[in-house]
Amino acid sequence: MSIEIPVGLTELLQGYTVEVLRQRPPDLVEFAVQYFTRLRDTRSQDGSGATSAAKTGGKGVMFDGEPMQTESNGDEEDDDSDFEPPPPSRFNRRVSVCAEAFNPDDDEEDSEPRVVHPKTDEQRCRLQEACKDILLFKALDQEQFSQVLDAMFEVLVQPQDHVIDQGDDGDNFYVIERGVYDIVVQKDGVGCCVGQYDNKGSFGELALMYNTPRAATIIAKEEGALWGLDRATFRRLIVKNNAKKRRVYELFIESVPLLKSLEISERMKIVDVLGVKLFQDGERIIMQGDKADCFYIVESGEVKIMMKSKTKADRQDNAEVEIARCSRGQYFGELALVTNKPRAASAYAIGDVKCLVIDIQAFERLLGSCKEIMKRNIAHYEEQLVALFGSSVDLRD
């Protein structure tokens, strides 16, 4: 005998079940009456009538398979249990941004249920590989990082899929496993492609960090794979860590000459997206000829900038010549981002080095106004190279 499951029934019951687990009401029947009455009222208000797309306002459960929202409503009991939410369907649009009860400066141990999406070993390996260079995860400790990995879920995309639409509320943060994605921003009503992610990187952090609408549309150019992280886990772990990062880096960032012309709020946004990377003595940080995807500010230690020699004899044995050194507060790796050319030189750590790293998209978005200062440097670099190699070098685009 075959039984046809009515459209929307699964989501309806899932929503109710999740709400019961969150709120733990003493009387399930009474709670069901209230829950479904509220749902019916909301539905008749928005006039949609569609059960599967039923949208609850405020802190209610999001339907359509939206990952469970775990914001605290202030009167829940402590619950540290792991929780397996319904698998999120592909691109659910978050219905409304509710004012999160979460305070990033609050140092108290969190009591939110953890989101866990079980994974096979093979999935976990792919996930770990995709996340290893994600700057936003670099400030997490091991336990926090492992909670992030537990909460992530796989999302497969097809060409022309809109992973994010500008103006929507933010539901998930995404890490790219593979695929090419256009970044499209509306300017005066016209969509402009302002950049592209090419098989690596992450996006979708801004709406979750600042409770703002999505700032860009992200469109898959080919078949691809992403890993999503739900809003509640992102805020609980990443945003909380950013509050600490701000305290640690506020003064240092203020002292970096390049960033002096920025407003305080702009500098803080830089702190929010930067990652921290450590390098050992002699380690190569960037390599001449490579495609550039980030920019560095030295926090401690010294960095040696080396260029393959232009003189014939040296060129044959591929010798490198030291052209500059950078120490605390100085930056490198900006030239290729400003000129859109491959790396013009390599950089090596001298002793232990700690660098702040900003990826190319954040660089474009946040440091646009500093580009003029950086461009002025190009003439200076060219003069240095003429002095070293005796011939002119065109570093510009």
Q: Which residues of this protein are in contact with ligand CMP, per CB under 6 A?
A: 164, 170, 183, 185, 194-195, 203-207, 214-216, 218, 361, 364-365
- Residues 302 and 328: their CA atoms lie apart, in Å, by 7
Q: Which is nearer to ligand CMP, 14 or 172 (CB)?
A: 172
Which residues face 222 on adjacent strands?
none
**Could you say which DSSP state residue 68 is in?**
P
Q: Which is nearer to ligand CMP, 119 or 371 (CB)?
A: 371
- Residues 352 and 11: their CA atoms lie apart, in Å, by 53
> Least CB distance from residue 204 to ligand CMP, whole Å?
4
If residue 367 lies in a helix (H) or strand (E), which one and from where to where? none
- Residues 166 and 390: their CA atoms lie apart, in Å, by 50
* C-alpha closest to that of 202 among 184, 229, 162: 229
Q: Which is nearer to ligand CMP, 368 or 390 (CB)?
A: 368
Q: Which is nearer to ligand CMP, 90 or 284 (CB)?
A: 90
> Least CB distance from residue 391 to ligand CMP, whole Å?
37
Packed helices 142-151 and 121-131: angle between N→C axes, nearest 10 degrees? 120
- Sign, Cα dihedral of 17, 21, 23, 26: positive
> Least CB distance from residue 232 to ligand CMP, whole Å?
15
Q: Which is nearer to ligand CMP, 218 or 220 (CB)?
A: 218
Q: Which is nearer to ligand CMP, 15 or 88 (CB)?
A: 88
> Least CB distance from residue 364 to ligand CMP, whole Å?
6
The number of residues in the chain equals 397
Contact 205, 199 (CB under 8 A): no
- Residues 183 and 112: their CA atoms lie apart, in Å, by 33
Taking CA atoms, 48 is separated from 9, 12, 41, 65, in Å, by 16, 15, 11, 18
Pull the structure tokens for residue 138. Answer: 């670099």
* C-alpha closest to that of 347 among 397, 277, 396, 394: 277
With a CB cutoff of 8 Å and minimum separation 6, the contacts of 287 are: 343, 346
With a CB cutoff of 8 Å and minimum separation 6, the contacts of 269 are: 366
Q: Which is nearer to ligand CMP, 85 or 170 (CB)?
A: 170
> Least CB distance from residue 385 to ligand CMP, whole Å?
32
> Least CB distance from residue 173 to ligand CMP, whole Å?
8
> Least CB distance from residue 208 to ligand CMP, whole Å?
6
Q: Which is nearer to ligand CMP, 15 or 195 (CB)?
A: 195
Contact 94, 84 (CB under 8 A): no
Torsion of CA 293, 294, 295, 298, to 10 degrees: -140
> Least CB distance from residue 183 to ligand CMP, whole Å?
5
> Least CB distance from residue 228 to ligand CMP, whole Å?
12
If residue 343 lies in a helix (H) or strand (E), which one and from where to where? none
Q: Which is nearer to ligand CMP, 176 or 344 (CB)?
A: 176
